[in-house]
Structure 1
Amino acid sequence: MRTWMLALAAGLVLPRFLPALPGIAACAAFITLGVLMLMRRSWVPFGLFLLGLGWACYQSQNALADRLPVSMDGRTFWIEGRVVGLPAATGDVVRFELVDIESRHVGLPSKVRLSWYGGPQLRAGERWRLAVRLKRPRGLVNPQSFDYEAWLLARGIGATGTVKAGERLSASAAADGWRDRLRARLMDIPAFDRQGAIAALVVGDDSGLSRSDWQVLQDTGTVHLMVISGQHIGMLAGLLYGLVALLARSGAWPRRWPWLPCACGLALAGALCYGWLAGFDVPVRRACFMVAVVLLWRLRFRHLGVWQPLLLALNGVLLIDPLVTLQPGFWLSFGAVAVLALVFAGRLGRWVWWKTLLRAQWAATLGLLPFLLALGLPVSASSPLANLIAVPWVSLTVPFALLGTILLPLGGVGEAILWLVGGSLDLLFELLSFIATWRPAWFAVGLPWWALLMIGLGVLLLLMPAGIPLRALGVMLLLPMAFPPRMEVPEGRAQVWVLDVGQGLSVLVRTREHALLYDAGPRQGDFDAGERVVLPSIRSLAVSRLDMLLLSHADNDHSGGAQAIQRLMPVARLISGEPQRHAAGLDAKPCESGEQWQWNGVRFTLWQWQAARDSNQMSCVLLVEANGERILLTGDIDQAAEQALLHSGEKVQAQWLLLPHHGSRSSSSESFLRAVEPAAALISRSFHNAFGHPHPSVSARLTALGTDTYDTALDGAIRIDLGDFSTAKVQRAERRFWREK
């Protein structure tokens, strides 16, 4: 039976790793062949594998088919729909999801995610008529970056968009908007300014947590504690089960009621009620299903061991929603349960409670390490200590948060309890902040598959019981993590990465021993590309410090992320084309036109137009030359600055040209392009940007000159091995079935 369930799970998981999905006909063929193979017992595992594969591919194809058609991409429509979930207001932006969509246009997806800048307060359950500009799901693609497209597909979102105008058609019904009203009630309670954390624990809304709160949680590996997940559901179920067991053991439980069925029933009811309160999001549904399986195992099938119910829960979750494999939480939650089962199942003797707690925390930290590395998530060295404090702290806090919420109708009783809960959470965050300052999170360098395999095998050996042969070898197998295999840049060569930061610019230039970052991406509202995109990407490329941060000029799309970069990574030297315009804290030196230097045989040259009259013209231009191959990084210079550069006497000919001002009509004049004579042009921009970059006239000039183009909006991050005279490598070439080409 265990082999059969493993085969089914393997088939359900496999599409997650496919570059492209088989068609609907192939899915039907897999399912048909799988059913036929079930008729012979020896073929059952193969049949279950094909059934799982066919079902998962069919469900994934249906989700892809529900995306906005290409012909409608970037267009504006009038649509009607109902707001679902909890709308999140951050600054002047309201983000929400819309379902039950009606429109005179055929082919719109069944669920969309929208942003409304300066929009009104929205409530779940309200029905709106909106003018929205819809776009197909598309995200930034960089080394080790968050996969936004996979996240959208896993949530069944077929389009994103921006609201231009709208009118409310109907108010929220009582059954639809109660969670929203409860969240608003919780946010109005004075609780040491920790109302957002209380709302996160009670109704699963994390929009009230600040960016600094998230940074602390990430640095200490405790993010899972502030997002309602399997741990919270399981914790409440365990608390209720343990309460009945304690009463039964002490003789206080009524003898006419069998305690075990009552304990399991009460635990399941508590888990379902908590899940209902949290909105039954995907992780919550997964957790409730797992709790139900565990309780059923405890009640009736304990003799089967611990692995049977775990596999049953795994297959149940995957059959209900195969796309759950696109979410990191799926791998982490099942991985944590499997690790704890491996460590505790079948061990002889009893441990005192504190030894059990220490061993569980140590096992979970070590056991989840391969998952974190494979998923490209930050690894927290302080996680064992932080979780040792925070897990029991939050475990004791959640019941009081729920109790206070239930008692809110009783005057000030509920508010008083929640005030105490807020104080408890505030003290917890103070402790976590101290730990985060001592040991922040570590972004691992991207590891090859063989290194991940070694680390996984090493972790497995270390989790084995004492006395297992070669157990100490596990420490040696972890060495790729401490000494990751690096793609060294040869002497006299440079590795150039044009990162995908949307409508902005950030370029990393690495030599054998040095690193320079040219611009730091934009900062828009609560999204800081420097912190969320640039920093994880360059850390994954084995850059731990910057010898120079060069900001072409002070416009937000080029320098918005600079403060985050300087705050979170050592920067030896900061240069800017407009040092006087930067915010306080960015003490930049001016760009010195004509300055040159060499790193590891690679030559760098700066240029700036001294007669510049505006910000774009003041852009600091960087020319990099390695082994005779050159790249010209131009910031936002316009045609006047281009002509000044041509007449400056600088040698501007280069094989690679970063198009000035993202390919704007005011730049990239024909005379400039002919003088540079690039073999390839690089464009850094966002898809469907409001400025129309690159301008058709610029694209026409490049075509006429026979210049190849690489575009971050189409290609993702672009890598150039300068000095090798080879073609560029693009991130979107790494195919994923859910990723736009």
Structure 2
Amino acid sequence: MLALASGLIVLRFLPAIPALEWVLLMLGAGLLLLVVRVYPAGLFLLGLSWACVQGQSALDDRLSPALDGRTLWVEGRVVGLPQQSDAVVRFEVRDAYSRHATLPSTLRLSWYGGPPVNSGERWRLAVNLKRPKGLLNPQGFDYQAWLLAQRIGATGTIKDGQLLAPARHAWRDGLRQQLLQVEANGRAPWLAALVMGDGSGLSTDDWKLLQATGTVHLLVISGQHIGLFAGLIYGLVALLARYGLWPRRLPWLPWACGLAFAGALGYGLLAGFEVPVQRACAMLGLVLIWRLRFRHLGVWLPFLLALNAVLIIEPLASLMAGFWLSFAAVAVLIFTFSSRLGPWSWRAAWLRPQGLIAIGLFPMLWILGLPISLSGPLANLVAVPWISLLVLPAALLGTVLLPVPWVGEGLLWVAGGLLNGLIWGLKWLAGTLSPWLPASVPISVWLLAALGALLLLLPAGMVLRPLGWPLVLLAVFAPRTLVPPGQAEVLQLDVGQGLAIIVRTRHHTLLYDAGPKVRNLDQGERVVVPALQAMGVGTLDMMLISHADSDHAGGALAVQRAMKVKRVVSGDVPLLAEQLQAGPCNSGERWEWDGVKFALWQWGGATDGNQRSCVLQIEASDERLLLTGDINIDAERAFLDSPLAVPTHWLQAPHHGSRTSSSMVFLKNLSPSAVLISRGHGNTFGHPHPQVMARYKALGMGIWDSAEHGAVRFRLGTFGVAESLREQRRFWRD
């Protein structure tokens, strides 16, 4: 079973899916090895073959490149629970059909200012379709992998639409609407998340609170709730049987297992029966079968069976962080509980699991680039029994009894009040202990820390156990790669249609622009801050905001809230001074950090924000980088009269490669070897303009485009080449 699971999981790390003939060869070799009884190798190849077939099937179901960016009329059925926030309706359409092209079976669509959409409805929609694409940054969420794991073949923005057929049997959507209309002490959206796995009603602040306290799994990932609900049913039958209240003609153990599994399936259907719920039901079913018939085979058997069952049903589950975290948490509990010679007291059984899970999941969270909640063990110590024993039973019973006047709503009101008490405590904890994201380290250091966590999970008295703490503390005191004097590490982040560039010398760090903020999507918080933390940066020596446009300054407040910023400089002081306490861009100012020279320039004759962009020149060992913001041709002409107009090796494309910038005279005078373009894939502005790209190519400049390469990193002062994250090949990346 370990060999089979390994073969299925290898898919996660493949740079490309093997060709069909190689897959058939692996399948044949696997079957042959099984015939000759070389079971581990044979099962490994069978698992890998099946995973490759499913991976290629998902890739083949993506939107054709020829249709990328085109607007088509599409018909399809709405599935799942549509989400509405900030006047945007987001939902998925299955069985998508167009008379003009073949479409993926599932689309994920956004309708800005659209009407209410309900699950089960059939719509005809004018959609601007896009191939699955996402930002690619260090420590960043891989949206493209998530879309593939969900088997979503295209995303799109709706321009117009008409309802073709109303929903049929859309009981989940109707029930959700009922829950949201209940006066539950103001916590109706939380109850909808808890009962139905629908977190669309939770605000951004709600999500931040759950993430900061490590309690997201209690609200929307319903696997734990399903297990607890099944446990309550099993425990009730066992209690009745113990006191002679269960009918003697019915053997209590089979009935307890059967009713528990039936209850789990019912709750799973209520929660949408998506991948986490399927995983929970599969694991629960195997545990109940083990309890009923196979206890003599040990506790690891149902775990391995569930692992293989989930991966065989959906091999792409290994692309999702939730898969790794849920199985790792269960493995930690099995390892720690089954390795003890005697039972724990009730107090130890309540207190120890949360600490052990925190230690056991720490390496997994670290390597997945997820923040580690320092308040999580304490928060879950209270939240798990509070939700499981008080809130969940009241919420489920209230939902079932909603048709009964007063009773159902009364129970939901009680559940909402209980949630209010819990939320108050979580807010206090989140304000006391903030989440922590360890710096990125070499894999060897991570392996040592993971070994330390494993040692700490051993029973007390084991000889090597005390060595665990020094190894785990490598995460806190991890060796940091220092930039040599006279050099600068430059990282252009992939923030979509905007700009954010980190410049780090040996002892100083500068951030040039902070990425965009559009509605509640703040790339400063989502991309810039995690990237800085992954580099081990706790304090910014300077945050330079070129000008006040939201695609450059939108994320600045999030950065300033997340870490200490010693100095803020901006080309648009009147617009940003009050928010960021920014100082002016003093044209002509120069300074030196660790042997690297910096100089500022701003056009005194500027008449708009783009022209007022604060330009920064960085020089390390005679290699230069020029960061230009959004200056246009007029500002470029003025710049050529400044002392900074000298040959430059790296140029940040002015105004994202707009037609009104990057004039030929500007480029010829600076003669850059390479250009950095930061822009959103398929942006509505048409950046970079074809004429500008033609100029770059005519001058033989290397082009590093965030939309094509993801985040780009290079070392200024070495005259080397840049590296992009897309060079780290994965089969799902274009």
Tell me whether the two structures share a fold, i.e. TM-score over 0.5. yes
Deviations 1:300-350 (A, max 9, x none): 111111011111111111111100000111111111111111111142223
In structure 2, what is the Cα distance between the partners aligned to 1:460 and 1:384? Answer: 18
User: Which of 530, 544, 551 pairs up with 2:538?
Assistant: 544
Partners of 1:477 and 1:613 in 2: how far apart? Answer: 58
Aligned runs of 1:174-573 on 2, under 5 Å?
Answer: 175=169, 177-396=170-389, 397-573=391-567
CA distance in 2, matches of 1:228, 1:117: 27
The reply to whether residue 62 of structure 1 matches residue 62 of structure 2 is: no
Q: Which moved more, 1:387-396 or 1:317-326?
A: 387-396
Query: For the aligned residues, what is the CA RMSD?
Result: 1.2
* Cα distance in 2 for residues equivalent to 1:229 and 1:448: 34
Partner of 2:117: 122
Q: Deviations over 1:127-157 (max 9, x none)?
A: 1111111111111001011010110000000
User: Any unmatched runs of 5+ in structure 2?
Assistant: none
CA distance in 2: counterparts of 1:685 and 1:459, whole angstroms: 41
Name the aligned partner's letter for residue 667 of structure 2: L
Which consecutive residues of structure 1, in runs of 5 or more, have no partner in the other structure? none
1:200-258 C-alpha deviation (Å, 9 max, x unpaired): 00111111111111111111111111113321111111111111112222232222221
Matched to 1:156, the amino acid is R
Work out whether residues 93 and 116 of structure 1, in 8 Å CA contact, stay in contact via their aligned partners in 2: yes
For the residue of structure 1 that corresponds to 2:194, the secondary structure is: helix
Aligned to 1:32: 28
- Range that drifts further, 672-681 or 452-461: 452-461
Instruction: Give the letter aligned to residue 352 of structure 2.
Output: R
Superposition deviation, residue 464 in structure 1 = 1.1
Distance, in Å, in 2 between the alignment partners of 1:541 and 1:47 is 42
Q: Is 1:635 the counterpart of 2:640 in the alignment?
A: no
Aligned partner letter, 2:46 = L
Question: Which residue of the partner structure matches residue 95 of structure 2?
Answer: 100
Alpha-carbon distance change, 625 to 583 in structure 1, aligned in 2, over 3 angstroms: closer
Contact 1:140 1:502 in 2 (8 A): yes
Give 2:674's aligned residue.
Answer: 680
- 2:731 partner SS: coil
Compare 602-611 and 58-67 and name the one that shifted more: 602-611
One-letter amino acid of the counterpart of residue 64, structure 2: P
Identify which range, 267-276 or 337-346, moves more after superposition: 337-346
Aligned to 2:165: 170
Identify the residue that residue 574 of structure 1 maps to in structure 2. 568
Q: Is the 8 A contact 1:381 1:439 kept in 2?
A: yes
Answer yes or no: is the 8 Å Cα contact 2:524–2:559 preserved in 1. Answer: yes
Deviation at 1:24, TM superposition (A): 2.1
Confirm or deny: 8 A CA contact 1:24 1:61 kept in the other structure: no
8 Å contact 1:632–1:652 — kept in the other structure?
A: no
Residue 6 (structure 1) aligns with:
2
Please list the CA deviations of residues 499-549 of structure 1 after superposition, one character each: whole Å capped at 9, or x if unmatched.
Answer: 000000001111111111111111112211011111111111111111111
> Distance in 2 between the 1:583 and 1:257 partners?
75
C-alpha displacement at 1:583, in angstroms? Answer: 8.4
Q: CA deviation at 1:584?
A: 5.0
Q: Is the 8 A contact 1:228 1:278 kept in 2?
A: no
Q: Give 1:634's aligned amino acid.
A: T
Structure-1 separation of matches of 2:539 and 2:386: 36
Maintained 8 Å contact 1:221/1:387: yes
Instruction: Give the distance between the partners of 2:134 and 2:36, measured in 1 at CA.
Output: 46
Identity %: 59
Q: Using the alignment, how far apart are the partners of 1:473 and 1:206 within structure 2?
A: 42
SS of residue in 2 equivalent to 1:616: coil
Residue type of the alignment partner of 2:225? H
Q: Which letter maps to 1:597?
A: W
Q: Please report how far the alpha carbon of residue 621 of structure 1 lies from its aligned counterpart in structure 2 after TM superposition.
A: 0.8
- For 1:83, the equivalent position in structure 2 comes to 78
**Deviations 1:537-578, CA, capped at 9 Å, x for gaps:** 111111111111111111110011111111111111111111
- AA aligned to 2:220 is V
Matched ranges for 1:639-658 at <5 A: 639-658=633-652
C-alpha separation between the residues in 2 aligned to 1:192 and 1:654? Answer: 62
> Amino acid of the residue matched to residue 272 of structure 1?
L
Aligned-partner SS, 1:388: helix
Which of 604, 620, 624 is equivalent to 1:610?
604
SS at match of 1:121: coil
Letter of the aligned partner of 1:357 in structure 2?
Answer: W
Q: Distance in 2 between matches of 1:132 and 1:716?
A: 26
**d(CA) in 1 for partners of 2:187, 2:441:** 38
Counterparts of 2:3 and 2:29, CA distance in 1: 15
Distance 1:533 1:239 in 2: 42
| Mapped pair 1:113 → 2:105 | no
Shift of 1:459: 1.3
Q: Is the 8 A contact 1:278 1:284 kept in 2?
A: yes
Range with bigger deviation, 355-364 or 727-736: 355-364
Provide the secondary structure at the position in 1 that maps to 2:611. helix
1: CA distance, partners of 2:221 / 2:179: 16
Q: Aligned partners of 1:448 and 1:195: how far apart in 2?
A: 45
CA distance in 1, matches of 2:552, 2:513: 5
State the one-letter code of the partner of 1:212: D
Say whether the 8 Å CA contact 2:77–2:121 is kept in structure 1. Answer: yes
Q: Hey, what's the Cα distance between the residues in 2 that align with 1:427 and 1:587?
A: 37
The alpha carbon displacement at 1:107 in A equals 2.9
For the 8 Å contact 2:127–2:160, the answer to whether it is kept is yes
Distance 1:618 1:346 in 2: 66
**Selected match of 1:597 from 575, 591, 601:** 591
CA distance in 2, matches of 1:273, 1:383: 30
Shift of 1:106: 3.3
3-state SS of the aligned residue for 1:380?
A: coil
Displacement of 1:28 in angstroms is 1.9
C-alpha contact (below 8 Å) 1:655/1:677 kept by paired residues: yes
Superposed CA deviations along residues 581-608 of structure 1, whole A, max 9, x for unmatched, are 2385322112111111111111111111
Amino acid at match of 1:36: L
Q: Is the 8 A contact 1:90 1:526 kept in 2?
A: no
Structure 2 counterpart of 1:586: 580
1:155 counterpart residue number: 150
Which deviates more, 247-256 or 63-72?
Answer: 247-256
2:653 to 642, 647, 659: 659
Question: How has the CA–CA distance of structure 1 residues 419 and 596 changed in structure 2, closer, same or farther, with 3 Å as cutoff?
Answer: same
CA–CA distance in 2 between the matches of 1:352 and 1:55?
A: 45
Q: Give the C-alpha shift of residue 483 in structure 1.
A: 1.4
Distance in 2 between the 1:128 and 1:339 partners?
46
Structure 2 Cα separation of the partners of residues 504 and 608 of structure 1 = 20
Task: Give a deviation string over 1:445-502, Cα, whole Å, max 9, x none.
Answer: 1122112211221111111112322221222222321211322111111111110000
Distance 1:395 1:256 in 2: 32
| Conservation of the 8 A alpha-carbon contact between 1:515 and 1:547 | yes
**In 2, Cα distance between the equivalents of 1:326 and 1:105?**
32
Deviation of 1:382 after TM superposition, in Å, equals 1.4
What is the rounded CA distance, in whole Å, between the counterparts of 2:138 and 2:573 in structure 1? Answer: 30
Give 2:19's match in structure 1, choosing from 19, 23, 30: 23
**1:3-47 C-alpha deviation (Å, 9 max, x unpaired):** xx1111111111111111112222222122211221122x11111
| Alpha-carbon distance between aligned partners in 1 of 2:396 and 2:620, rounded to the nearest angstrom | 62
Q: Distance in 2 between matches of 1:646 and 1:428?
A: 61
